[in-house]
Chains A and B, each alone.
Chain A
Amino acid sequence: MNEAEAMAGAFARRGAPVGELCAAYERALVALEIPNDPVVDRLVAGGADLNAAEMVLRRRDPENGLTRRARVMLTLLEAGQDLPGRGAGWAALLAAPFAGAWHWIAGSAALWRHGCRG
């Protein structure tokens, strides 16, 4: 799996046009002159949980390579505003700290496992 596919897998929702998205992502990285990043390379090669790892890396450096790439991917997706409804909305808010804690553990473990301890 190359970087674009891994990023789409981590951040795109089910049903997104992955082929189109990956091509646009690669064009955008070139146009924005975003350089290769050894940390991202290692995480992609190791099949790490990029979503969780991004959260931990963003706490260390808001402008890190993985966050910049994720923002490109999500902007290309133009993440929509489909509304969850009142009950599901409150559930999402209440669940967020638990999801955050889980991602923090999973992301820290992924970075440790792939030698990106920073």
Chain B
Amino acid sequence: MAAWALRGRPGVQMLDAGHTAAGLTSVGLEHLRAGAPPVSLKLRGPAVEFITRDAARLTPVVSASFPAVVSLAKGGLGNAWGGGVYRFRDGELGGLPDLTPHYDAVSRHIGVCGANDDLGAEFGLEPELLPPLRIGRNARAMLENYKRARPAGVTLGHARLAVRSGEYTYRANEFTSAGDPARYCPASTLDSLPGLTYSPGWVARRFRETEAGVEVEAVGLQGGCETFRARRLILAAGTLNTARIVLRSFDDFATRLPLLDNPITALPLVRWSGVGRGDDAPESGMAQLNIVLAAERFGRKFQGSLYGTRGAPPIEFAHRLPFSLTTNLRVLRALLPAVTLAMVFHPAAPGAQYLRLRPDGALEADYPWRADDALTLELVRVFRSLGFWAHAGMAHHAGPGQGIHYAGTLPMTERPGRYQLHRDGRLEGTRAVYVCDGSCFSHLPAKNLTFTIMANAHRIASGLR
């Protein structure tokens, strides 16, 4: 989004590894490799494997507690984002200034669908909201039950998504298939920017400030190393890789940078009257509803997305049931139409978690976290009050790393110190190095941060003269 904000300006060059789906020959089953770390459903399958291609080899992250996902693709992890468009409200922005005009600009550019319903107070009002995607029978029932029951501390409504809903194709296996062009992907912006020199095939390693500006040393995907020169540098390599570049630029193998992520609790919800029954019209494979649990009632504010089960093939769940695989698949075909999947994000709390660069170039991460059993029981109670059966034993806690909401490594503060950012995005201690990805956040509520990253990147790049 920084490149979009700089469109039309002369002399803007973007270095990127820039992997795309074109020419992919992989079988696309890497998640089945022995010892493969747990990976989001959105990153499985041949059509999406380019997103993480080469990342483990060229930009490794070593950790026992933080299975990190890094992308070297054109458009980065934005190729697999859930499309959630949520404005951070007052008190959620941490050190970031007001982003309203930048949210508005980005919203008009990407196209946002949804409804100005009860969640408007949580997500903010979009200037040009497209109609929401079609939701399934289960989501409709939950919404109706919510309007009747209004459980204390619970707000439910249509999902806000970066989807041009009128052009969206309803299909099964949304997340393991190639991206729908109606769903916004940052790569599409890069394809249509006047004045931008887009240079794929390079992985930036380090920068060095000179009298004339900044030099960037980059390694070619085909081998070799080259130095690029510019007056100013904007780092937007993704939270983890930006931290890697910054630490390597100062040959700092000791400092532990802070790290934030939203751990997830996934809870299957069953509406028994839905067994074996499909909808007359296909439903969206993306998030259909969002739910917000208020801090006053639940201790902290939690946000969840509710999905139907068309987004992923049943085989992804078959080995988790107790019977033979063919029986499990039969059970799943009967059961899945009755199932809604709640993915509840936990707010990130500051703590002992850190990121450090090792001399061998790998990032070392540690992120201790324990699931809150009391919250799981609360979730079960909330969804039962909305007419859906759930059991705490069926909850799956995907800890830090699997949320892929990485942030907070170079936080923006009023009085920045080393490895912190000024309000204009400039890295303290440098004259011309700016950072505009998730690194900037000093605070991470239980909310998808991609839209706020985009708005903040737009703000920082727009401010460069």
- Asked if A103 contacts B327 (CB within 8 A), the reply is yes
- Asked if A99 contacts B327 (CB within 8 A), the reply is yes
Contacts A11-B326, A51-B326, A55-B325 given; does A75 touch B276 at CB 8 Å: no
The dominant DSSP class at the A interface is helix
Minimal beta-carbon separation of A85 from chain B (angstroms): 5
Q: Closest A residue to B279 by CB, please name it.
A: A83
What is the 8 Å Cβ interface bit string for chain A, positions 75-118, against chain B (1 contact, 0 not)? 11111111111111110110011011001000100000000000
B277 — which chain A residues lie within 8 A by C-beta? 83, 85-86, 89
Count, chain A residues at interface, CB 8 A: 46
- Asked if A88 contacts B276 (CB within 8 A), the reply is yes
Cβ of B314 within 8 Å of any chain A Cβ, yes or no, is: yes
Please report which residues of chain A, range 14-70, place their CB below 8 angstroms from some CB of chain B when the two chains form the complex.
Answer: 24, 27-28, 31-34, 51-52, 54-55, 58, 62-63, 67-68, 70
A10 — which chain B residues lie within 8 A by C-beta? 326
> What's the Cα separation between A58 and B32 when bound, in Å?
15
A81 — which chain B residues lie within 8 A by C-beta? 172, 309-310, 313-314, 333, 336
Cβ of A74 within 8 Å of any chain B Cβ, yes or no, is: yes
Partner-binding segment picked from B84-92, B156-164, B315-323? B315-323
Q: Which residues of A contact B (CB under 8 A)?
A: 10-11, 24, 27-28, 31-34, 51-52, 54-55, 58, 62-63, 67-68, 70-72, 74-90, 92-93, 96-97, 99-100, 103, 107
Q: Could you name 8 residue pairs across A and B whose Cβ atoms are closer than 8 Å?
A: A72-B32, A74-B318, A84-B330, A86-B275, A87-B276, A89-B277, A89-B337, A93-B275
> What's the Cα separation between A90 and B275 when bound, in Å?
7
Q: Which of B34, B276, B322, B325 contacts A85 (CB 8 A)?
A: B276
Q: Which of B276, B314, B328 contacts A89 (CB 8 A)?
A: B276
Cβ of B278 within 8 Å of any chain A Cβ, yes or no, is: yes
B331 — which chain A residues lie within 8 A by C-beta? 92-93, 96
Q: Which of B275, B276, B323 contacts A99 (CB 8 A)?
A: B323
> What's the Cα separation between A96 and B314 when bound, in Å?
16
Minimal beta-carbon separation of B82 from chain A (angstroms): 20
Q: Which of A62, A70, A86, A92 contacts B330 (CB 8 A)?
A: A92
- Asked if B27 contacts A84 (CB within 8 A), the reply is no
Minimal beta-carbon separation of B310 from chain A (angstroms): 7
- Asked if B319 contacts A71 (CB within 8 A), the reply is yes
Minimal beta-carbon separation of A66 from chain B (angstroms): 10
Given contacts A74-B325, A90-B276, 10 further A-B contacts (CB under 8 A): A32-B30, A32-B33, A78-B315, A86-B275, A89-B337, A92-B333, A93-B331, A99-B323, A99-B330, A100-B324
A74 — which chain B residues lie within 8 A by C-beta? 315, 318, 325, 329
- Asked if A32 contacts B330 (CB within 8 A), the reply is no
- Asked if A55 contacts B27 (CB within 8 A), the reply is no
Cβ of B257 within 8 Å of any chain A Cβ, yes or no, is: no
Cβ of B335 within 8 Å of any chain A Cβ, yes or no, is: yes
B121 — which chain A residues lie within 8 A by C-beta? none
Cβ of B227 within 8 Å of any chain A Cβ, yes or no, is: no
Pick the 7 closest A-B CB pairs, nearest first.
Answer: A89-B276, A89-B334, A100-B323, A55-B324, A92-B334, A103-B324, A83-B278
> What's the Cα separation between A61 and B27 when bound, in Å?
25
- Asked if B334 contacts A54 (CB within 8 A), the reply is no
Please report which residues of chain B, range 299-315, place their CB below 8 angstroms from some CB of chain A when the two chains form the complex.
Answer: 309-310, 313-315
